[in-house]
Structure 1
Amino acid sequence: MARSGLRLKAELIAKVSEPPSGHDSLAQVWVDTGVYHLDQEYSYLIPGDLDSIVTIGSFVVVPFNGRELSAVVTHRGPLMGQANLKTVIKSQSPIPLLNYEQISLIRVLSEKYLCHPFDLIRSIVPQRVATSEKSRNSFVDRPVPTRSARNKNSYLQLPPHRNRQVLIAAKLVELLSDGPTLALFPDVREVQAVSRELDALGVKYTRYDSSQNRSDHYSSYLDIVQGLAQLVIGTRSSVFAPLKGLANIVIYDEGSEHYYERRTPGWNAREIAIARSGIEKVSLTFVGYSPSLEICRLIEMKEVNYRKSNSRLKVNDFEQAFGELLPSQALSIVKKSLADGPVLFVAPAKGWAHAIRCSRCKTLSKCKCGGNFEIKSEKSSISCNHCGVVNQQWKCTWCENHTYSLVGRGIERHAHEIGKLLPGVVIKNSTADNPLTDQIASGAVISTASMAPVAQSGYSAVVFLEGNRINNQPDMRAQERMRELYFGHSALSCRGGNILLIQDSGNPIVTALRIWNPMPVLERELAERADLDLPPFSHSVELTMLKDEVTRFKNALLKAQDEGRLPREMRILGPIVKGESSSLVLLSTLADAQSVNLLIHEFMRRRSLTKKVLPSLRIDPYSLSR
């Protein structure tokens, strides 16, 4: 990472306890200090008894500022006149847990995300389980698999009416002919579904995801490190899996928020895969129904080849003239469709009502923490959707009225109302808390986003309830999520099935679904983003800190712009209040990204040096307003 004038004293010791052996007795290491500004590489001597054990990627213990800390070896080389160096104390694992390519990747990503290398290493290397190493050789001399010369990037649009897991499994088998392949999925449910299809095909693969227990998770990682895996499937952190001779990375639903790491530094799996592609020269295959704006931009730049599915659907939209859940025309189609097979209703939210307001003055009711009060089920009490506090004696904080009205139906309330509209029809709910896993043969299913079960022969109708709530979310990703939701769930319909959108007419998503092509809508939104210099045509940095600090920091940024230390074109959005904290969002051109990052990195280092609390930092976050 580029430095900005700050220098730290080298770690010194009077003499080493044991003479080094061999020519490459110097080790460069990253030390897990837990201190932001101590992120550079340090030099240590390798004692003779560790000479044959310690190699690049080895985890070792080193003395550091009076403590014994974990470190990873990034380089071995000869002494070049260095004196008074400390000595590596011991090796933590007989197996090198990182390889050359991973270390190169960590260097690139540490600079991109302005983070300590160990912030990334914690995402890459799972918690060690020593017993998993006992039956293994320290070094497994597996030849690097032969790779195809092909190195192409593509977006493969999935067709409707087909089981996507079957299609993805077949694609993975096809790509294996090019060489080792890594496949990423947004959640464990999708990993499990694809696993079943691979098992049915008799394909050998290695699962590597967060649902595994510690021992299995670590064993899977060791298999990958030692070249024993040819096909790896997993979730977000699997993007770092060090397959030898990696040829392909496949990502399903690459725009999903699940691919954004929650912990510092908030990296994104799609961006990690793109970085790996540049370092390791692997092919990227994005699979899904509707690409993100980031991938759409790469498609326009001819860096990703878009492979469209040629399909057409029966799609109609219906307006809610009087606020009714299902307009009469839509209800008529639903009743006819139930005679042909199951019907899927897609609800925008779980619970009974996701907000309440005063029945007299119409003020939206909020908790002291800033969260909305909600009602999770028909008989539950009012509670905060943020801190969970229960409000047994509710009253309006503005006019002190004690009666409220419900705002925004949840899935429980939808089920209640649909049950009245469709008497005698069996209705099942599917949510993240209570997912349906069996295939559906008849009746109606009400599902929240991404939780719809598969129907045996496809759904005879798919109904998107309260589409205006989905379309009008105050978030820059709202339209992207809408496309993913509509295309992904419409794909579950049977051939000739009805797609019903309960929303205002005139939305271009209707035509996009009919011709099964989101690109015209994407290209229009991309052009609007370009005109406004918004992501993905700009670089964004989000810093979250205490409210009393954010104003001072904003003034300091404005001063830096006046003095020419920051680009004058950079926009500062906020403060955006988030409970007890506030955020600033910095938007700059892609050309100015490096200069902005350097200043923010300098700011973070200085706070670390003075032992101040560090702000939460996100580079190119999922959303600028969530």
Structure 2
Amino acid sequence: MSLVARVLIDSPLPQLDRLFDYAIPPALEAEAVPGVRVKVPLRTAGRVVEGYLVETVDAADAARTSKPLSEVDAVVSPVPVLPPALYALARRVADRAAGSASDILRLAVPKRMVRAEKAWLIAQAEGGREAAPEASAQAQAWAAGILGAYPDLGPALTDGGRVAVDAPPRPATASGEGREVPVGAWAELLAAMALDTLARGRSTLIVVPDQRDEDQVLQVLEGRAPAGAVVRDDARRSGPERYASYLRLLGGVPAIVVGNRSTVYAPAAEVGTVIVWDDGDPLLAEPLSPGVHARDAALVRQELEGSALVFAGHTRTSDVERLVQLGWVREAPARRRESPAVVLSATREGESRGQRVPSAAFAAARAALAHGPVLVQVSRPGYAPVLVCASCRMPARCPHCTGPLRARRPGAAPDCGWCGRTTLSWTCPHCQGTTLRMASSGSERTADELGRAFPHTRVILADGEHPVTSVDGRPALVVATRGAEPQAAGGYHAVILLDGDRMLLAEQLRIGESALRWWSNAAALARPKAPVHLVGVTGPVARALATWTQPAYARAELADRGPLHMPPTVRVAAVEGAVTSVSTALAALREAVPSLDAAAILGPVPLAAGGVRALVRFDYAHGGPVAESLRASVVADALSGRRARARSDRSAPRTTLKVRLDVPELDL
């Protein structure tokens, strides 16, 4: 019985996002099994391309054509790197996002490394299947103690439930390299869930935003997880290391996989729990096409595989709260509610309203420095990231590219944040003034000012250019930008949150959510009962932090966005390209989904780089038809461009139409 191979071409071209039938020559019948990488001829391109052999079918069941099928040219590797479950996940995620399955697999499957593959094949041949790791009784008891603080969490993990968990906002310690390492208590919670799942013989995927979070989870697991059970999955590892880890997961042995956003696609065996930490962090939003957020991919995977799904964080995004309101995700509250001692610190009578650090926060920092480190969070790095005209207060722009001017150090000529040019002489185009004024203080300027205010005190700067992961328990002023705050041994004795009013001025739909997340994550670094001063901010977001009721703030945000048809109460698609391409796509969408509201389409509006952009707002129930219609328009546009290039000698762009679903911001 002859078989036909169905191959997914590894190509970014949207018209190739389907399975192609190829005949399997007799010489390759033994190696051409589902999941392997293959090389196949592509008639339209006149060349050989790589792809994945997804499945084999009987020749009688293959699509009948007048032409004979081309044959598979070669099997690149005998290792089936694409399990059926991973292809099903990639296909479902891509269809939901109007994208290509090959784009998803490019994120999920590492590049082949021959030496790593040969070593794995030799190990498989010599030792057979690796024994399943078993968590020790001591580790299981430790995990049970951590999970005991959440009565509903353990049953949800066992039954494959979907839950939202508010992590404990306090510091903890982990034993690493013969010493105590400061970590967040949230890392202990995630590790406990993973060990509990491993004890039941199933795998856990822990998806975190960055390497700092990843390191904390790994430090907690060190010494508690059995040898070989933890698999690290991130871009910092070399190509051979990543590929070897991927092959380890294909072996069918349960594991605890810890990594960044692409970890949600890891082909671990018998996945019992998928954990997404801090899903509001923008690092979990995939920038590459089709731009699927790790949270959405995790929801799709849970639906396909029936594993438990946990969204954990110090705050709750409106996206997760919407799922809670629908009953799709359940809350798993702690038995005893924990919250930091947050103080809304405002200027007192007689103090200048422009005073950056009010007397109450200043006094708290001075008192805390007698015992240990104090954290000061600021909004921006650098010395003076914003300069304005001293006469009219208009923002200073670069005369070459109109980028923002900034000061890197006192007395130095300003330079541009975009092109990097130094501006020796500057004239305001509005009032002809020639004097600049510092409109904001960055991390470096704040460190200088606090160093003068607290003489004989260590000042530690932590930002993108000065990364610091942890500090000891000695007195010190730690000035950090949002998201770059280091862990402190035993926790900070006080936390001062500056520039909150400036953070809230950003023209973003979710700026309130983002600011609450930045402040909450910083407040969770304080030791119990240590004061946390939020400076100069009032209103709902400040009250949510002070009362530690972040889910209530997310509910209020949903209530406000619902009547305005703003995400996440609706889904939003961005359609970008040439005027004719966008108009044709929108017309096809109206015809395919006639129930779309008249106000569902915003735009099109012209783009600075050329072309136009339109936004489409639609209900979740219309997600399938909208994605299908827009994807069809992308394919049709790509094919029409190909035909145009075939008729003309001029070089035309390959694809003019771009579509992205689930756009978080309406930034026309």
The reply to whether residue 524 of structure 1 matches residue 556 of structure 2 is yes
Aligned partner of 1:335: which letter? Answer: R
- Which of 210, 234, 240 is equivalent to 1:215? 240
Say what the alpha-carbon RMSD is for the aligned residues: 2.7
What are the residue-to-residue correspondences of 1:130-169 with 2, within 5 Å?
130-137=114-121, 150-163=159-172, 164=184, 165-169=187-191
Q: Give 1:559 deviation, angstroms.
A: 6.1
Q: Is contact 1:313–1:513 with CA below 8 Å preserved after alignment?
A: no
CA shift in 2, pair 1:365/1:584, >3 Å: farther
The reply to whether residue 464 of structure 1 matches residue 497 of structure 2 is yes
Q: Give 1:508 deviation, angstroms.
A: 2.9
Moved more, 493-502 or 603-612: 603-612
The 1-side partners of 2:273 and 2:441 are apart by: 43
- Which of 85, 98, 102 is equivalent to 1:118? 102
Q: Is contact 2:592–2:629 with CA below 8 Å preserved after alignment?
A: no
The reply to whether residue 386 of structure 1 matches residue 428 of structure 2 is no
The reply to whether residue 363 of structure 1 matches residue 343 of structure 2 is no
CA shift in 2, pair 1:422/1:486, >3 Å: same
Could you say which residue in structure 2 is the equivalent of 1:16? none
- Which of 543, 558, 567 is equivalent to 1:535? 567
The 1-side partners of 2:414 and 2:657 are apart by: 33
Task: After superposition, give the CA deviation of every residue in 1:477-534 in whole Å (9 maximum; x if it has no partner).
Answer: 21111121111111111121111011233x2344433443312111111111112111
Q: What SS class does the counterpart of residue 391 from structure 1 fall into?
A: coil
The reply to whether residue 253 of structure 1 matches residue 312 of structure 2 is no
Could you say which residue in structure 2 is the equivalent of 1:607? 637
- Which of 487, 494, 508 is equivalent to 2:520? 487
Aligned partner of 1:486: which letter? Answer: W
Q: What SS class does the counterpart of residue 103 from structure 1 fall into?
A: helix
CA shift in 2, pair 1:253/1:404, >3 Å: same
Could you say which residue in structure 2 is the equivalent of 1:14? none
CA shift in 2, pair 1:378/1:609, >3 Å: farther
The 1-side partners of 2:638 and 2:417 are apart by: 34
Q: What SS class does the counterpart of residue 32 from structure 2 fall into?
A: coil
The 2-side partners of 1:277 and 1:326 are apart by: 47
The reply to whether residue 373 of structure 1 matches residue 415 of structure 2 is no
Q: What SS class does the counterpart of residue 266 from structure 1 fall into?
A: coil
CA shift in 2, pair 1:541/1:377, >3 Å: farther
Q: Is contact 2:389–2:428 with CA below 8 Å preserved after alignment?
A: yes
Q: Give 1:243 deviation, angstroms.
A: 0.9
What are the residue-to-residue correspondences of 1:264-303 with 2, within 5 Å?
264-303=289-328
CA shift in 2, pair 1:149/1:411, >3 Å: closer
The 2-side partners of 1:494 and 1:263 are apart by: 39
Q: Is contact 2:575–2:582 with CA below 8 Å preserved after alignment?
A: no
- Which of 478, 494, 506 is equivalent to 2:511? 478
Could you say which residue in structure 1 is the equivalent of 2:152? none
The reply to whether residue 432 of structure 1 matches residue 464 of structure 2 is yes
Q: Is contact 1:162–1:491 with CA below 8 Å preserved after alignment?
A: yes
The 1-side partners of 2:558 and 2:451 are apart by: 41
The 2-side partners of 1:515 and 1:308 are apart by: 16
Q: Is contact 1:569–1:588 with CA below 8 Å preserved after alignment?
A: no
Q: What SS class does the counterpart of residue 513 from structure 1 fall into?
A: helix
- Which of 174, 177, 183 is equivalent to 2:206? 183
The 1-side partners of 2:444 and 2:158 are apart by: 53
Q: Is contact 1:264–1:617 with CA below 8 Å preserved after alignment?
A: no
Count, aligned residues: 599
Q: Give 1:144 deviation, angstroms.
A: 10
- Which of 414, 423, 446 is equivalent to 1:414? 446
Could you say which residue in structure 1 is the equivalent of 2:536? 503
Could you say which residue in structure 1 is the equivalent of 2:215? 192
Q: Is contact 1:467–1:503 with CA below 8 Å preserved after alignment?
A: yes
Identity %: 24
Q: Give 1:220 deviation, angstroms.
A: 0.5
Could you say which residue in structure 2 is the equivalent of 1:25? 3
The 2-side partners of 1:516 and 1:24 are apart by: 65
Q: Give 1:555 deviation, angstroms.
A: 5.8
Task: After superposition, give the CA deviation of every residue in 1:352-405 in whole Å (9 maximum; x if it has no partner).
Answer: 222222222332233455542223343554333334344343332334432222
The reply to whether residue 585 of structure 1 matches residue 618 of structure 2 is no
CA shift in 2, pair 1:564/1:89, >3 Å: closer
The reply to whether residue 395 of structure 1 matches residue 423 of structure 2 is no
Moved more, 416-425 or 249-258: 416-425
Could you say which residue in structure 2 is the equivalent of 1:18? none
The 2-side partners of 1:186 and 1:325 are apart by: 31
CA shift in 2, pair 1:289/1:473, >3 Å: same
Moved more, 604-613 or 458-467: 604-613
The 2-side partners of 1:318 and 1:532 are apart by: 33
What are the residue-to-residue correspondences of 1:53-68 with 2, within 5 Å?
53-65=31-43, 66-68=46-48
Could you say which residue in structure 2 is the equivalent of 1:11? none
Could you say which residue in structure 1 is the equivalent of 2:82? 98
Q: What SS class does the counterpart of residue 21 from structure 2 fall into?
A: strand
Task: After superposition, give the CA deviation of every residue in 1:140-189 in whole Å (9 maximum; x if it has no partner).
Answer: 76899999862111122111223323333233212322311111111112
Aligned partner of 1:329: which letter? Answer: A
The reply to whether residue 311 of structure 1 matches residue 320 of structure 2 is no
The 1-side partners of 2:566 and 2:369 are apart by: 44
Task: After superposition, give the CA deviation of every residue in 1:274-318 in whole Å (9 maximum; x if it has no partner).
Answer: 101111111111221112111111112222222234023322223
CA shift in 2, pair 1:56/1:340, >3 Å: same
Using the size of structure 1 for normalisation, the TM-score is 0.89
The 2-side partners of 1:537 and 1:222 are apart by: 40
Aligned partner of 1:194: which letter? Answer: V
CA shift in 2, pair 1:565/1:520, >3 Å: closer
Q: Give 1:234 deviation, angstroms.
A: 0.9
CA shift in 2, pair 1:149/1:485, >3 Å: closer
Could you say which residue in structure 2 is the equivalent of 1:446? 479
Q: Give 1:215 deviation, angstroms.
A: 0.7
Q: What SS class does the counterpart of residue 14 from structure 2 fall into?
A: coil
The 1-side partners of 2:96 and 2:425 are apart by: 50
The 1-side partners of 2:74 and 2:542 are apart by: 63
Q: What SS class does the counterpart of residue 496 from structure 1 fall into?
A: coil
Q: Give 1:558 deviation, angstroms.
A: 7.1
Q: What SS class does the counterpart of residue 331 from structure 2 fall into?
A: strand
Task: After superposition, give the CA deviation of every residue in 1:176-224 in whole Å (9 maximum; x if it has no partner).
Answer: 2231111111111221222122113253311111110111011111111
Aligned partner of 2:166: which letter? Answer: Q
Using the size of structure 2 for normalisation, the TM-score is 0.83
Q: What SS class does the counterpart of residue 536 from structure 1 fall into?
A: coil
CA shift in 2, pair 1:450/1:578, >3 Å: farther
Q: What SS class does the counterpart of residue 135 from structure 1 fall into?
A: helix
